[in-house]
Amino acid sequence: MKSIQITRREFLQSSGALVVGVSGVLPSLDALAQNAAPKILGPNPSLLDTWIKIGKDGLVTINSGKMDCGQGLDVAYSQIAAEELDVPLSQVVVLFGDTKHSANQGGGSASSGVRQGAIPIRNAAAEARRVLVGMAAQELQTSPDQLDVVNGKVFVKNNPSKSVTYTQLISNKEFSTNLEWNKKFGNDLNVTGLAKPKNVADYKIVGKDAPRRDIKDHVIGKEHFTAHIRPDHVLHGRAIRPAQAGASVISVDKNSVAFVPNVRVFQKDNFVAVVANTEWDAVRAARALKVTWSKETKPLKGGDKEMFNYIKNATPTASNAVPMFFGKKEYNAQPTYDALKTSAKVLEADYFAPFQAHARIAPSCGVVDVKSDSVQIWTDTQKPHFQREGIAKFLSISPDKVEAKWMHGAGSYGRSDADEAPYEAALLSKEYGQPVRVQWSREEGTAWSPKGPAAVMTLKAGLDEQNNVTAWLFKAKGFNGWDIKFNAESPEHTLVGMQTGHKKWTAYNYNIPEESYRFANHVHWWETVAPYVEQASPLRTAHFRAPQEMQTRFAQECFIDEVALASKIDPVAFRLKHIQEPREKEILEAVVKKFGWDTNYKSTKVGDVYTGRGVALYNGYQSYAAVACEVEVNKKTGRIWVKRIVVGMDCGLVINPSGVKAALEGQVMQGISRALYEEVKFDENRVTSVDWNTYRIASMKDVPGKVDIVILNRPDKASGGVAEPGLVSLPAAIANAVFDATQVRIRQYPLTPQRVKSLIV
């Protein structure tokens, strides 16, 4: 298979027509064929009725091909639609990710919910209003320019008593109106109508706080999750995992589970599972089934203790400089190396980032009903449309016979285990002719889910006699960020697919910093290394929230502080000196102003407790974020506590300020968790992080003493991504604060108590 080396932007933000095949990115077709519209599965994006329906009760339903990871995206979409339609916010509801009703907008990815996913909704809502006003003009025997709309009622401007409601005009009927579709699927899908959306200056709903709608149902246990689905005659399935990474099945003793009533044992290649009439019987059978696996010879090569040496010494599988949003960029490190040789002072450091797990609070669950003429999937994947296509391939059936219905599930960001159980359920349902529900265990969800890739980041900087930067080198070398794909559009991107003979694709990606720092002789690039186990590995890697950005920004933003110190410049002043993007500079200035950053600040030590401050910033997803924090470090216990934090974001036009605030608060907690605790441990044979004791996450005691949120609203700028930018800088800001407090530079996260105690003496 030919290697594929393209940018993350080209994948995540490209048209859904992008094809990854055995011959490369695009098949060799003539220009006409390449420009042809992709095959439409499900609703046609060109139809206004695909996007909006108005019921006889006046309720406006928006059908979105996105989904909500717990950010309250439905509220933002409702605000946008209500604004364009001139209806009350309470009158709009949003349905997510049902492939029967929505076009493929790429699902959840790349902080694209509002940044890209809202654009066709805004355009469709504006067009719906135009069509409705036109219908009202006929009904009221006047011209459209003589009409206005308030709360879904269309009236004659100079005679408001002459009016008609949207409900009276269209109640449960179709718009029968075409839209202009850009012939793309995925994040870039867009449609436009004849109507022009409102001017921002006329907004009355967008830009104002609107409360979440789902919290109450979560609190009182009313919410219906994937795990709750129980079709008639459902069977319960559980898989049996190998004791060693890379092991193959030698034999299965079906008699070992004969004591479980009505149990059935399934084997296809190296995938072994049981199904039973009750979940408990499936659990009992999975625990008791005797499977003989092949004996591998230390497949994970020294375990986590030797992992960074493995990365350093491994021959790269791919090497390239790929800025996420600015296209492919070749690199030449030689001028940087030459400049380093003539620099008055050279600083260099390696930074280390481990494997991290999604570790969803509830592991993967999927329910699938395979019938002779159709397949129904209930799933909480981030990308239901792609899962539909992948399971269709897996079952060798036409995708137009498959419906994936997105359900709420455990929150997660990136290519988690969410796609895994539905695939397994589909295989078992096809075999036994009944709907099957597969629920992963906690151990499976932590040990066998895709991981965020570990890496070593090497940085070097040169300074002249006046402490000006003469050279800057950044190299990230780590496990492939595209070991499996960021969606499950094909079975080789799932564990069960690999176990049943689907060979993994060949594509490579890592990440490099994109902030607008300008340094003389600046070069940056990444390299990937081969996985420990090629197929069906518990350490297969894929997108984790802000893919590979936390790893690279941890190194870059900590090294920025190291160079600032060597230059005898305040770390904020050093950043402002070298930042080129005005919005990046302005969010940093706003955050440190709120923090009260004082160049005369002195770290303190009281008994065993050190106090210090740190800062870091990030630019990505068309947004700009910065973090400043103050931490306490207990030398005796090794505990780091974020005493105070200010996180700020410029995400362009803000749709729902309270939603942005909540998203940033969530990122603070996940950032603290990943910075201080989360680390996948493994020995030479298997992953040993299997529960909340062996894979720790932040708890209530880690909640910061004070959190301040700074949001720069820019109505003149397009809305940027909100779900990830605030998260990325947390480990670097905390590590910088720890150094300020203790004068000890910790170059590996998580900054666990054990690691802190071993370094601070």
Query: Higher-confidence residue: 713 or 36?
Result: 713
Residues paired with residue 436 on neighbouring β-strands, in sequence order? 235, 368
**Sign of the CA dihedral running 295, 298, 303, 305:** positive
Identity (one letter) of the amino acid at 8? R
Q: Which of 128-132, 561-565, 600-604 has the lowest mean pLDDT?
A: 600-604
Residue ranges in 567-633 assigned as alpha helix (H): 571-578, 582-595
pTM for the model:
0.93
Q: Are the CB atoms for 704 and 642 separated by under 8 Å?
A: yes
Q: Are the CB atoms for 48 and 178 separated by under 8 Å?
A: yes
Average pLDDT over residues 603-632: 97
Q: Are the CB atoms for 752 and 352 separated by under 8 Å?
A: no
Q: What is the pairing mode between strands 264-268 and 60-64? A: unpaired
CA distances from 483 to 269, 383, 549 (A): 22, 18, 16
142: number of CA atoms within 13 Å, CB side? 18
Write down the pLDDT at residue 727: 95
Classify residue 693 as exposed, middle or buried by CB count within 10 Å of its CB (0-12, 13-18, 19+).
exposed
Q: What is the pairing mode between strands 402-406 and 375-379? A: parallel
Closest CA to 68 of 12, 101, 107: 107
Q: Are the CB atoms for 418 and 226 separated by under 8 Å?
A: no
Distance between CA atoms of residues 363 and 99, nearest Å: 23
Closest CA to 427 of 235, 660, 693, 577: 235
- Percent of the chain residues past pLDDT 90, beyond the cut: 87
Average pLDDT over residues 460-480: 97
Confidence of residue 459 (pLDDT cuts 50, 70, 90): very high
Instruction: Count CB atoms within 10 A of the CB of residue 411.
Output: 17
In this predicted structure, the answer to whether residue 19 has a pLDDT above a threshold of 80 is no
Residue matched to tokens 């200035």: 589
Distance between CA atoms of residues 676 and 731, nearest Å: 8
Q: Are the CB atoms for 186 and 385 separated by under 8 Å?
A: no
The predicted-structure confidence for 23-52, as pLDDT tens digits, reads as follows 233 333 344 444 567 899 999 999 999 999
- The alpha carbons of the chain give a radius of gyration, in whole angstroms, of 27
Helix, strand or coil for residue 726? helix
The predicted-structure confidence for 189-205, as pLDDT tens digits, reads as follows 999 999 999 999 999 99
- Structure tokens belonging to residue 1: 């298979």
668: number of CA atoms within 13 Å, CB side? 28
Write down the pLDDT at residue 15: 36
Classify residue 195 as exposed, middle or buried by CB count within 10 Å of its CB (0-12, 13-18, 19+).
middle
In this predicted structure, the answer to whether residue 716 has a pLDDT above a threshold of 80 is yes
Q: Are the CB atoms for 240 and 287 separated by under 8 Å?
A: no
Q: Are the CB atoms for 587 and 648 separated by under 8 Å?
A: yes
- Structure tokens belonging to residue 412: 């997660």
Write down the pLDDT at residue 216: 87
The predicted-structure confidence for 330-359, as pLDDT tens digits, reads as follows 789 999 999 999 999 999 999 999 999 999
State the chain's mean pLDDT as an integer. Answer: 92
Write down the pLDDT at residue 10: 35
Write down the pLDDT at residue 761: 79
In this predicted structure, the answer to whether residue 388 has a pLDDT above a threshold of 80 is yes
Confidence of residue 231 (pLDDT cuts 50, 70, 90): very high
In this predicted structure, the answer to whether residue 544 has a pLDDT above a threshold of 50 is yes
Q: How many residues are given for the chain?
A: 761
Q: Are the CB atoms for 588 and 617 separated by under 8 Å?
A: yes
DSSP character string of 197-222: PPPGGG-SSTTS----SSHHHHHHT-
Distance between CA atoms of residues 141 and 164, nearest Å: 12
DSSP tag of 266: E
Confidence of residue 328 (pLDDT cuts 50, 70, 90): low
CA distances from 429 to 253, 269, 378, 392 (A): 22, 17, 13, 13
Helix (H) or strand (E) holding 238: strand 235-240
**Cis peptide bond prior to 211, omega within 30° of 0:** no
Write down the pLDDT at residue 4: 37
Distance between CA atoms of residues 186 and 499, nearest Å: 28
Write down the pLDDT at residue 109: 86
